[in-house]
Amino acid sequence: MSPKNNLNTRKFNIQPMVVLLVAFVVMIIAWVGIFSWIRLNNEQHRTLGVALSPVNVNEVYPDWLYYELKPGETINDQFSIWNGYNQKVNLKLGALDAKDNSTLENFQLTSEYNDEQKTIGKWVNVTPSLELNSEEFTEISFILSLPENTKEGEYWGALYADYEPEQGNAQFRTVVQTGLRIILKVTNTPHPPKITAIHEWKNVSNEIKFPIVYFGISVTIMLAAAGLVLVGKNR
């Protein structure tokens, strides 16, 4: 065989490997770009701090808990808690009445230390403490029990979570409180609101779970193709 033919044969064997190598590099760059975009988008839209949300989203007040109950009735429900901090938080949970002069636009809660809880703060039973890791959420069950002699009317209050964000060497202790409003209508003819959705939190790990799977499949296919080329070359 002439040197020219040998050169052509080597080119024929080498070119598929070059194409595979270039394709692999392009794929890596593309996936890095996709992961970076997902991460940036998640950082821009994620909820910072600690947030409470209803699990069962109602049609009347979608962002809050809303119930219509008869005197003496009990309801079991859930709410979700999200920790958007980059560190673990220890939460103190409970329920409080709204102040008498509260409005939906200016919603104010009573103090657990200085005010007697007479309605929502007294009727709600929830686990008193919780620990959440960074970018973790969980669902918490609670019970709302009305006394038999509860008067008809509307009662306001909230579930709350107290926590201390990371404060470094700060001299003063800061406690942050976040809450989830409860609007309760007590009536002898209740009409429970329609549940329109189930709320779920999403974090970075959930956002990139499927792209990682696809990336692994792509790498496997590329390696298998490279192996086939090498086998064909050595024959």
- Its CATH class, for the domain covering 48-201, is mainly beta
Distance CA 65, CA 79 (A): 9
Q: What is the DSSP letter of 109?
A: B
Domain boundaries, the chain: 3-44+205-234, 48-201
Which pLDDT value is given to residue 84? Answer: 87
Give the per-residue SS3 of 65-89.
EEEEECCCCEEEEEEEEEECCCCCE
Which pLDDT value is given to residue 45? Answer: 46
DSSP H helical ranges for the chain? 3-45, 120-123, 204-234
Helix axes 3-45, 204-234, angle to 10 degrees: 170
Which pLDDT value is given to residue 12? Answer: 47
Which pLDDT value is given to residue 211? Answer: 58
Distance CA 80, CA 140 (A): 6
Which pLDDT value is given to residue 210? Answer: 52
The predicted-structure confidence for 51-89, as pLDDT tens digits, reads as follows 999 999 999 999 999 999 999 999 999 999 999 888 899
Residue from 94, 91, 153, 154 nearest 124 by CA: 94
Distance CA 85, CA 182 (A): 25
Distances (CA, A) of 8 to 13, 14, 94, 139, 193: 9, 10, 79, 66, 77
Is pTM beyond 0.75? Reply is: no
CA angle 227, 230, 235 (to 5 degrees): 130
Residue from 155, 158, 195 nearest 180 by CA: 158
Average pLDDT across each block of 10 residues of the chain; the chain has 235 residues. List them in order.
Answer: 51 58 71 65 62 94 96 96 90 96 94 91 96 92 97 97 78 84 97 84 51 62 62 56
Give the torsion through C-alpha atoms of 73, 114, 82, 184, to 10 deg: 30
